[in-house]
Structure 1
Amino acid sequence: MSEWHVFSGSGEQREWVLPEPPPWRRFTGGPLVEPPGADWWEHRPADLERALAYQPTAREVELVNVAIYLRRPLLITGRPGTGKSTLAYAIAHELGLGPVLRWPITSRSSLQEALYRYDAIGRLQDVNLSGEPTVSADGIGRYLQLGPLGTALLPYGKPRVLLVDEIDKSDIDLPNDLLNVFEEGEFTIPELARHSTPEVTVRIDPKGTARVTGGTVRCRAFPIVILTSNGERDFPPAFLRRCVRLELGQPDSDRLAKIVEAHLGPDLRASASDVIDAFLARRDGGELATDQLLNAVFLTQFTPDASRRELVEVVLRHLSDEG
């Protein structure tokens, strides 16, 4: 680990200090919001397994630290199954930053849903039932829930990790829509801004709350934003200029063996060389994901040696195969 690195990629948690940002990336949100408790991993064992098993390269570690120092999103491009999204869990675990805030992207995803959701119908129904003509600003907070991006922009003392997964599947305008939020580190909730109440409590996922001052959510520590892309489209130059970019290649045999050991232990790694060789040979002829290899190796402990070849044929099918 280099002395200047915040994230080492070792998976070992330790005390660390957030470095000072560039002058143009300083944010002044407040008052500070309490981070999630350290025991959250107990409730998300699958996330913990992903975090501990990830095997980052020196290049990946370097660029994660560049993004942390510059307070810029990290755009990771690579084929499916190369570990793009898993890196976010490794960062969150090692640095003790709470659960990953995940925003899975589809063609219908919008900036609004990632910032907050407002239940206007629920509010209207409650007003009608209560007989009161209006609901106070603090009462409106019951109908507002911050989304993953909105939660990431709360004024935490240390950054939260936000995973924007498969952004290349978004509507063509979404990357540009994100530019202003990423630049300013804040957003306004109009439903609150029009009221005079200085602070309003809103809901955050899964069951927490946070206070919003003046109708504006403003970060203190810019979140560690991991954007993943399968390389299915190009992004606008203005968007790329504001990102640190990392291209993930296909793991070689040595790294695949380390991945198998990290997930399944040294015994299965020692017996999996033939499955790894078969995976590499088949990968040259079509697209395969690393989790297919893990599935095949896992199954070998339950099947006789005579069935291993047939098993590999079944599990290691190219992703483009039909039927």
Structure 2
Amino acid sequence: MTWTPYYRGNQSEGERPSAPVELPPLPPWRQARAHVPFEPPLGLAGAVNAALLLRRPLLLTGSPGAGKSTVALSIAQELGLGGVLRWHITSRSTLVDALYRYDALGRLHARQHKEDDSPERFLRLGPLGTALAAVDRPRVLLIDEIDKSDIDLPSDLLDVLERGSFEIDVLKRHTVDEVRVRLDVADGEDDVADDARCTIARGVVRGGRDQFPVIVMTSNGEREFPPPFLRRCVRFPMPDPDSDQLTKIVNAHLKDLDEETQAAIQDLIKAFAGRIGKPEVLATDQLLNAVYLVTREFPPEGDQREQLVRLLTKDLSSA
């Protein structure tokens, strides 16, 4: 039996299936609550422990797909720190957005309609604010692609981290000393999002110093950072994986591959490893996508297989 895709592109105009097509389950590494297997490169564990002991951010540099973001997930899972809070940086990202979000228009609308316009109803702490407000355990915060930020944001960020607290102006002017404010939602915590709140006294968010967040920052090397920023971080360069490491990653994510199948995909893994950084930009999950597709029960074969592998492992630096 040959590989049969769900979509064929030959449906006659006006025809509709009698029932929706049942699509396959997500691949294991795409499932939100799945355990994330991770093979740390040599030296990473030491850098992580140094960052934990010194309460300093861990700055990971390296090419896209080197596993930088996965480090934050691995730390959270191994230490039992819950879901990872994520702050994905763009050129428009601001520190205030990461600390809290205030819906001023929503509050104005409530006031005009004589509804409850208490400011806490229109506030939610952002990922950084939620991490700083933690009192029962440290939270893991992933600050992804910080090299894409405005030039002043890294310094502003470290100023807040040094103080370990921040103020919310609208609450400073509030007549109530203590309010309950919603927290940001971490990975895999959607079911508790509505109940997740913290108490803020007199407009100042100040978490317990013993619960200082575990902060992992990633950079693809698109810019240089000033020395004051770098000296406050524990820095670690993530190496590009070789074929042996890629094999371990594939086996960790796709545990159902037998020895014969593993041997059959070695050429695919070695070819992918040989292309990384020479000068192509490739991500590990591209390899996982390709391996997953060609090792299913009825995989594509011949020219169709080669075409799909090329499609899934295209250089990320080209269109």
Count residues in correspondence.
Answer: 273
Query: What is the DSSP-based 3-state SS (H/G/I as helix, E as strand, rest coil) of the residue aligned with 2:199?
Result: strand
| Residues 297/144 of structure 1: CA separation in 2 closer, same or farther (3 Å cut) | same
Worse-superposed segment, 234-243 or 200-209: 200-209
Q: Which is greater in Rg? A: 2
1:84 aligned residue: 68
* Matched ranges for 1:94-243 at <5 A: 94-130=78-114, 135=117, 139-205=118-184, 206-207=193-194, 208-220=196-208, 221-243=211-233
Aligned-residue sequence identity (percent) comes to 53
| Residues 193/319 of structure 1: CA separation in 2 closer, same or farther (3 Å cut) | same
| Residues 157/60 of structure 1: CA separation in 2 closer, same or farther (3 Å cut) | same
Q: Is the 8 A contact 1:47 1:89 kept in 2?
A: no
Q: Is the 8 A contact 2:172 2:203 kept in 1?
A: yes
Q: Structure 1, residues 119-146: CA drift from partner, whole Å, max 9, x if none?
A: 11111111121189xx5xxx21111110
Calculate the aligned-residue CA RMSD, in Å.
2.0
Distance in 1 (CA, whole Å) between partners of 2:55 and 2:301 is 51
Distance in 1 (CA, whole Å) between partners of 2:119 and 2:283 is 46
1:46 aligned residue: 31
Worse-superposed segment, 204-213 or 224-233: 204-213
Query: What is the DSSP-based 3-state SS (H/G/I as helix, E as strand, rest coil) of the residue aligned with 1:187?
Result: strand
Unaligned runs of 5+ in 2: 1-28, 185-192
TM superposition score normalised by structure 2: 0.80
Q: Report the AA paired with residue 293 of structure 2.
A: L
Q: Is the 8 A contact 2:246 2:273 kept in 1?
A: no
Quote the offset at 1:45 in angstroms: 7.3
Q: Determine if the alignment matches structure 1 residue 303 to structure 2 residue 288.
A: no
Distance in 1 (CA, whole Å) between partners of 2:86 and 2:126 is 9
Q: Structure 1, residues 264-317: CA drift from partner, whole Å, max 9, x if none?
A: 124354432111111123333522211111111111124355344444333222
Query: What is the DSSP-based 3-state SS (H/G/I as helix, E as strand, rest coil) of the residue aligned with 1:153?
Result: helix
Q: Report the AA paired with residue 62 of structure 1.
A: G
Q: Is the 8 A contact 2:282 2:314 kept in 1?
A: yes
1:22 aligned residue: none
Query: What is the DSSP-based 3-state SS (H/G/I as helix, E as strand, rest coil) of the residue aligned with 1:245?
Result: strand
Distance in 2 (CA, whole Å) between partners of 1:70 and 1:269 is 42
Distance in 1 (CA, whole Å) between partners of 2:115 and 2:37 is 56
TM superposition score normalised by structure 1: 0.79
| Residues 127/183 of structure 1: CA separation in 2 closer, same or farther (3 Å cut) | same
* Matched ranges for 1:282-321 at <5 A: 282-283=275-276, 284-301=278-295, 302-307=298-303, 308-321=305-318
Among 267, 272, 287, the alignment partner of 1:274 is 267
Q: Is the 8 A contact 1:260 1:269 kept in 2?
A: no
Unaligned runs of 5+ in 1: 1-43
Among 49, 52, 55, the alignment partner of 1:65 is 49
Query: What is the DSSP-based 3-state SS (H/G/I as helix, E as strand, rest coil) of the residue aligned with 1:86?
Result: helix
Q: Is the 8 A contact 2:41 2:239 kept in 1?
A: no
Q: Report the AA paired with residue 290 of structure 1.
A: T
Quote the offset at 1:215 in angstroms: 0.9
Query: What is the DSSP-based 3-state SS (H/G/I as helix, E as strand, rest coil) of the residue aligned with 2:113?
Result: helix
Distance in 2 (CA, whole Å) between partners of 1:281 and 1:125 is 59
| Residues 97/131 of structure 1: CA separation in 2 closer, same or farther (3 Å cut) | closer
Q: Structure 1, residues 13-42: CA drift from partner, whole Å, max 9, x if none?
A: xxxxxxxxxxxxxxxxxxxxxxxxxxxxxx
Distance in 2 (CA, whole Å) between partners of 1:129 and 1:311 is 57
Query: What is the DSSP-based 3-state SS (H/G/I as helix, E as strand, rest coil) of the residue aligned with 1:53?
Result: coil
